[in-house]
Structure 1
Amino acid sequence: MSGYIYTIGREFGSGGMLVGHMLADKLNIPFYDKELLQKAAKESGFCEEILENHDEKPTSSFLYSLVMDTYSGGSYSSAPFLDMPINQKIFLAQFDAIKKIAEDHESCVIVGRCADYALAERKNVINIFLHADMEDRMRNVSTRLNITEKKAKDMCQKQDKQRSSYYNYYTSKKWGDSRNYDLCLNTSKISPEKCVDLIIDYSNAFSGK
């Protein structure tokens, strides 16, 4: 299977990265998560540490629509860009990186970072959202990070709030709303392997209209 770009939004602890990796491996296509940060850092001149510290974190100091009116989409030395707070610069660097990745690859998997919004004008994009029951997410995070389930629950709630605020702010859409995605899958009910199979089955029937 080739020809589609798969974007994956995800609740924290629902297995978004795992499913994304498995999908990319099965289709033999590139996978972008932290790799996207590296690409954005290289092309924008930011060090990767700064990008990681501001990754998928919301800002409350500007209106995105105003930024897009003044930012020409490629000039990191222009006055409007240089005058922006760091969070805005990080978002635009990743936004441009996502678009460049889509231009460079016939097919790939991109996790998070409003990729569905950045690629909204493309017809070959399949947008997926993964969610799971809190109990399962707590166990997943507790096991992965070797922390108590209470701390894991706090982390899930914090990360979800952060991702939701980031997505809602920059896209003017609602994070996790099924109407914003082509597929919404509950990883408490469906194994990662089955999620991958369902995504591929959907892509076989996808019209892109």
Structure 2
Amino acid sequence: MTTHANRLGESLDRAYRHWRERGVLETSHKQDSTPPHLTVAISRERGAGGGSVARNLAQRLDWPLYDRELLEHIAEKSGVQEKMLSDLDESRPAWFSEILKSLGTDRPMTAAGYAALLHKLLAGLYMHGNCIVLGRGAAQILPPEHTLRVRLIAPYEHRVDRVAENFPSRQEAIKHVKQVDKDRALFVREYFHRDVNNCHDYDLTIDTARLDVVTCCELIERAMAGRIAELQRQ
């Protein structure tokens, strides 16, 4: 069984490979044959299976997945700078190194400070492209030009049924779903001044109660192909 630490380590390894392979930030002066970079930002209702879809899509594309856990680990653990960035030499992303140098393990971080840091991290990931970001307001704050913004939803009862599998009672599952949805909406509204439920902030909305994980990923991949084709025509 894969442990929590092993899963995080695997995510960091994939992220490291992503930074190294992408190298210096791409510019419009690079080869015309280079496909435009794209970031997939997935927003989801609690219990809609967003994590499963995001992980499956990351495996299919062989792209790194940046979820809340990985982003918080990157932002808060000073050891990441030593372990990951010291080997990147001149190719290391300046934005990332700069952010981590400003952090200290003994420095408290306010919610607003974390939101500002998160914004900078997401901006850097967007500039590199070829990655998936799950939650954290990425669909609302990343520029739409090179972002495919996906919203995963499902009927309330379906979401409660799914979440209830991990709770002692259905009543606790109901409370959990309501609270998480509320917290996510509040985070985006308070720090990024957007409404997570605004359908106009998304390019693609999928009801995961009607489609399985593989079909959801196939739809996202089709939308990605269309978006990339559009960028290449510009």
- The reply to whether TM is greater than 0.5 is yes
Q: 2:145 aligns with which of 88, 100, 123?
A: 123
- 1:11 aligns with 45
Aligned residues: 174
Q: Which has the higher contact order (CA 8 A, sep 6+)?
A: 1
Q: Does 1:172 align with 2:206?
A: no
Q: Does 1:187 align with 2:208?
A: yes
Q: 1:102 aligns with which of 106, 119, 126?
A: 126
Cα distance in 2 between the residues matched to 1:149 and 1:169: 30
Cα distance in 1 between the residues matched to 2:167 and 2:192: 34
TM-score for both structures, normalised by structure 2: 0.66
- Render the CA deviation track for 1:54-107: whole Å, top value 9, x for unaligned: xxxxxxxxxxxxxxxxxxx95948xxxx9x97111111122222222233x430
Cα distance in 2 between the residues matched to 1:156 and 1:6: 24
Amino acid at match of 2:116: L
Higher helix share: 2
- 2:162 aligns with 140
Q: 1:36 aligns with which of 57, 71, 75?
A: 71
1:35 positional shift: 1.0
Q: Is the 8 A contact 1:2 1:107 kept in 2?
A: no
Q: 1:24 aligns with which of 58, 61, 66?
A: 58
Cα distance in 1 between the residues matched to 2:214 and 2:57: 9
- 2:117 aligns with 93
SS of 2:196's equivalent in the other structure is: coil
1:24 positional shift: 0.7
Percentage of identical aligned residues: 23
TM-score for both structures, normalised by structure 1: 0.74
Cα distance in 2 between the residues matched to 1:173 and 1:119: 12
1:18 positional shift: 0.8
SS of 2:145's equivalent in the other structure is: coil
Larger radius of gyration: 2
Cα distance in 1 between the residues matched to 2:159 and 2:119: 28
Amino acid at match of 1:110: V
Cα distance in 1 between the residues matched to 2:109 and 2:40: 30
- Render the CA deviation track for 1:127-157: whole Å, top value 9, x for unaligned: 11111111111121111x2432221111000
Cα distance in 2 between the residues matched to 1:24 and 1:91: 25
Cα distance in 1 between the residues matched to 2:118 and 2:216: 27
Structure 1 segments unaligned to the other structure (5+ residues): 46-72
Amino acid at match of 1:90: Y
- Render the CA deviation track for 1:170-199: whole Å, top value 9, x for unaligned: 232211221011111111111111110100
Amino acid at match of 1:95: H
Cα distance in 2 between the residues matched to 1:27 and 1:117: 23
- 2:30 aligns with none
After TM superposition, the structure 1 = structure 2 runs for residues 57-76 of structure 1, keeping only pairs within 5 Å, are 76=102
Q: CA RMSD in A?
A: 2.7
Amino acid at match of 1:197: E
Aligned CA distance change for structure 1 residues 148 and 85 (closer, same or farther; 3 Å): same
Q: Is the 8 A contact 1:131 1:186 kept in 2?
A: yes
SS of 2:42's equivalent in the other structure is: strand
Out of 93-102 and 14-23, give the one that drifted further.
93-102
